[in-house]
Amino acid sequence: MTPSADRLTIGELAARSGLASSALRYYEELGLITSQRTAGGQRRYHRAMLRRLAFVRAAQRVGLSLDEAGQALARLPDDRAPTAAQWAPVARAWQRRIDAQIAELQLLRRKLGGCVGCGCLSLKTCALYNPDDTAAAHGPGARWLLGDTPPEPPARA
Amino acid sequence: MTPSADRLTIGELAARSGLASSALRYYEELGLITSQRTAGGQRRYHRAMLRRLAFVRAAQRVGLSLDEAGQALARLPDDRAPTAAQWAPVARAWQRRIDAQIAELQLLRRKLGGCVGCGCLSLKTCALYNPDDTAAAHGPGARWLLGDTPPEPPARA
DNA sequence: TGTCTACTTCAAGCGCGCTTGAAGTTCGTC
DNA sequence: GACGAACTTCAAGCGCGCTTGAAGTAGACA
């Protein structure tokens, strides 16, 4: 081991991040994290990778794919904490995304509320049935994360 | 066509439900919907399948797998609208699930809020970093949908 | 020096939710 | 009765996010 703190082995990084080594190799292959190699070819990770991994995990919880997370990560420094200026737009974009998700769930919840008493699911009247709402908003990807057109919180939902 | 209204072809059901025919065959294979067959072997669907499909789509939006949706469907009648007594526990279970999801998203949102100004993602202090919270609650499956132990809304969240 | 664990690559596999394609059949209409 | 669109089955494939396994190598410690 002799962890030297900034040269974590893959096993150490796995233990600290809670991810499997195989997942870390996969992430590295996707470019989400980077490593140096020892003379013998083993990976050594800078502690800053823990931050990137935390970012990725948070991104997944927001519903981003690894690819999308990678695009967002590409705008942050690899080796040290982002500055407020770097981080703020990303965080704000995530908050908007989260807000949209919450709004959608609340809508669904209200619709269910309307159904609870009636056992309806009627073809004509049940709101669950005719979700002509903003559901499909999740579509294409995360271009918005890169600073373009953030998704408006569901208009009329 | 001659739709006779209660004997929808797969194409008609696809058109009305917004799902692809291939998806409908797949759902049938999974037991989510049922059909009769014509003398020649073609599927004919009762309109009530539209209700089941709406249910499945709603279930997916709540984050259930098709398998879980099928388990919930199994408790509702196949050929007509559920009674209030049949529907209410399912709807309430979904609402609890939705509430838990909303709570989790709100927690994440607050954490991001804490990070926005600081650009932190600090190893020691950032809340995003140390999500020792209720995230993993999604685990096993939807036994709760069947009436057992509904998941408490995230305790301390 | 030897041992043993942790690492390496590469290819394949898995679970989910479907889609695609090939080859053949049925249905509704003219 | 013939035509064309819509259907049938079956097997394979895909995209995502990994995991598993085989075969071999490096690194830490006694």
| C-alpha span between A62 and A72 (Å, rounded) | 13
Architecture, CATH, for domain A1-82: Orthogonal Bundle (1.10)
Which of A129 and A149 is assigned the larger pLDDT? A129
Which pair of tokens denotes residue B8?
A: 């929808």
Per-residue pLDDT tens for B47-69? 989 989 988 988 888 888 999 99
Mean pLDDT of A45-60: 90
Number of neighbouring beta carbons within 10 Å of residue A13: 22
Is the CB of B112 less than 8 angstroms away from the CB of A94? yes
User: Could you tell me if B88 lies within 8 Å of chain A, comparing CB atoms?
Assistant: yes
User: Could you tell me if A50 lies within 8 Å of chain B, comparing CB atoms?
Assistant: yes
- What pLDDT does residue B118 have? 52
Give A18's Cβ-side CA count (13 Å radius).
Answer: 10
Q: Cβ distance A11 to A24 under 8 Å? A: no
Is the CB of A47 less than 8 angstroms away from the CB of B123? yes
3-state SS class at A85: helix
Is the CB of B109 less than 8 angstroms away from the CB of A116? no
- What pLDDT does residue B155 have? 32
Roughly what angle, to the nearest 10 degrees, separates helices A21-30 and A66-73? Answer: 60
Per-residue pLDDT tens for A103-143? 888 888 887 766 654 545 554 455 555 554 433 333 333 33
DSSP string, B46-110: -THHHHHHHHHHHHHHTT--HHHHHHHHTTS-SSSPPPHHHHHHHHHHHHHHHHHHHHHHHHHHH
Q: Which nucleotides of C are covered by protein (CB under 7 A)?
A: 6-9, 16-20, 25-29
Spatial neighbors of B96 by CB under 8 A, at least 6 apart, are: B144, B150, B151, B153
The residue extents of the domains of chain B are 1-82, 84-157
pLDDT > 70 in chain B, percent: 68
